[in-house]
Amino acid sequence: MSGGLGVWQDMEKERETLQAWKERVEQELDRVVAFWMEHSHDQEHGGFFTCLGRDGRVYDDLKYVWLQGRQVWMYCHLYRKFERFRRPELLDSAKAGGEFLLRYARVAPPEKKCAFVLTRDGRPVKVQRTIFSECFYTMAMNELWRVTGEARYQDEAVEMMDQIVRWVREDPSGLGRPQLPGALASEPMAVPMMLLNLVEQLGESDEELAGNYAELADWCAQRILRHVQRDGQAVLENVSEGGEELSGCLGRHQNPGHALEAGWFLLRHAIRKGDPELRAHVVDKFLLLPFRSGWDPDHGGLFYFQDADGLCPTQLEWAMKLWWPHSEAMIAFLMGYSDSGDPTLLRLFYQVAEYTFRQFRDPEYGEWFGYLNREGTVALTIKGGPFKAPGLTAFYCPPSRSQRT
């Protein structure tokens, strides 16, 4: 009897702990959204200021396209999924951001290539030779369609998606990367990972599109899985086109945050497909393995980059702690726990969440710091920058029912 009571008490305690975390996350989400609502809207030219200092002041009026797309997506997604965010000002701001992207993001329309950064009034400053600006553009357009019902947004999303798939699977020449005889033909994991995310985004509650992309989704998953190398002991960020380990630093490069992010994209895919074997493999290789190797035993937090042989990475920032790998890890572990009920995953969620809320939050001005040094002190005070998006970012995509209000 007393054993049964103990179990019941444990469950009750766990329910309370989870409920407390749900409330902390909700409060934090409210503060983060309020910060961007207050400081980032450009009333004159549309779109969002993305370079915000600690107190929200705009320190540069350049507009980074990844972040324009993410903010549109975030506003729409919150509006669509959470009762308390169903506010006209979120929708209006998302639409203004979407119109800014439609008008200015593409460098030479009707070509699809998007800029990486624009001037305040929308002139292109820099173009990346990758697919990522276009991926965030696609996510923004699809969410805009979901909240407004306007077909032109969805047409734009689907057309851009088609272009991205052609770049990745057929002909990358439109991305502008020169072909050099010494450059190894390599696949960064980020590419199939982002593509799988887009498939999930576009396929949500849309059986026809989900069906169209079913083969693509499997292809992405299979491509990501090839990044598990060395008899399953390491996730490598880059592999050869044939799925083999590459030589040198490029081949040994690891990004624990990416592995965890790919983990929850894959887990979502595996859950949708009802594939228990894949679910177990993903938890093992993309959640537990990168966490074990990527978590700093001395100071806590996830390293930004590592070398699979334990050598010193050449990136100056390798040992820094960035906000986003921690957001990805929180989602991944909570999603894994929600799916499997495995208490190990819940404990890891707590471990990451406690570090994250303690180290990245700014109680004084709101929002999160993005960049800590190895020891956990703030290295950059900016709240938004070329890559720094709203804190708690990935939580905007609620990983389980328990996260929804």
Question: Among residues 90 and 105, whose Cβ is nearest to a second copy?
Answer: 105
Question: Cis (ω within 30 of 0) for the bond into 88?
Answer: no
> Site for a second copy (CB under 8 A): which residue of 59, 92, 211, 343?
59
Alpha-carbon gap, residue 26 to 23, rounded angstroms = 5
Question: Among residues 60 and 206, whose Cβ is nearest to a second copy?
Answer: 60
Alpha-carbon gap, residue 15 to 17, rounded angstroms = 6
Contacting residues for 109 by C-beta, under 8 A, at least 6 apart: none
> In angstroms, what is the minimal distance from the CB of 370 to a second copy?
9
Q: Is 310 in the site for a second copy (CB under 8 A)?
A: no
> In angstroms, what is the minimal distance from the CB of 139 to a second copy?
23
254: which strand partners? Answer: 306
How many C-beta atoms surround the C-beta of residue 330 within 10 A?
27
- Could you tell me which stretch among 110-118, 230-238, 340-348, 355-363 binds a second copy (CB under 8 A)? 110-118
Alpha-carbon gap, residue 352 to 363, rounded angstroms = 19
Q: Mark 174-193 with x for binding to a second copy (rule: CB under 8 A) and - for no binding.
A: ----x-xxxxx---------
Residue 313: DSSP 8-state: P
Please give the residues from 385 up to 404 whose contact with a second copy meets the rule CB under 8 A: 385-386
Alpha-carbon gap, residue 159 to 138, rounded angstroms = 9
The two structure tokens encoding residue 352: 């990451």
SS3 call for 168: helix
Question: Among residues 127 and 158, whose Cβ is nearest to a second copy?
Answer: 127
> Site for a second copy (CB under 8 A): which residue of 74, 96, 118, 198?
118
> In angstroms, what is the minimal distance from the CB of 309 to a second copy?
8
Residue 316: DSSP 8-state: T
Q: Is 123 in the site for a second copy (CB under 8 A)?
A: yes
> Site for a second copy (CB under 8 A): which residue of 18, 37, 62, 175?
62
Question: Among residues 107 and 278, whose Cβ is nearest to a second copy?
Answer: 107
Q: Is 366 in the site for a second copy (CB under 8 A)?
A: no
Q: Is 300 in the site for a second copy (CB under 8 A)?
A: no
Total of chain residues touching a second copy, rule CB under 8 A: 45
Question: Among residues 201 and 359, whose Cβ is nearest to a second copy?
Answer: 359
> In angstroms, what is the minimal distance from the CB of 107 to a second copy?
7
The alpha carbon of 165 is separated from its chain's Cα centroid by a whole number of angstroms, namely: 19
Q: In Å, what is the CA distance from 330 to each residue of 92, 226, 294, 403?
A: 30, 24, 14, 12
- Could you tell me which stretch among 11-19, 52-60, 212-220, 236-244 binds a second copy (CB under 8 A)? 52-60
Alpha-carbon gap, residue 165 to 223, rounded angstroms = 14
> In angstroms, what is the minimal distance from the CB of 400 to a second copy?
32
Alpha-carbon gap, residue 368 to 383, rounded angstroms = 6
> Site for a second copy (CB under 8 A): which residue of 20, 214, 280, 312?
312
Strands 234-235 and 321-322: unpaired
Q: Is 318 in the site for a second copy (CB under 8 A)?
A: yes
The two structure tokens encoding residue 78: 């919150």
Alpha-carbon gap, residue 48 to 45, rounded angstroms = 9
- In the numeric block, the tokens 């701001």 are attached to 93
Per DSSP, which regions of 263-351 are E strands?
Answer: 306-307, 321-322
Please give the residues from 187 up to 246 whose contact with a second copy meets the rule CB under 8 A: none
- Could you tell me which stretch among 41-49, 259-267, 272-280, 373-381 binds a second copy (CB under 8 A)? 373-381
Q: Which residues bind a second copy (CB under 8 A)?
A: 51, 53-54, 59-62, 107, 115, 117-119, 122-127, 178, 180-184, 247-249, 311-314, 316-320, 371, 373-374, 379-382, 385-386
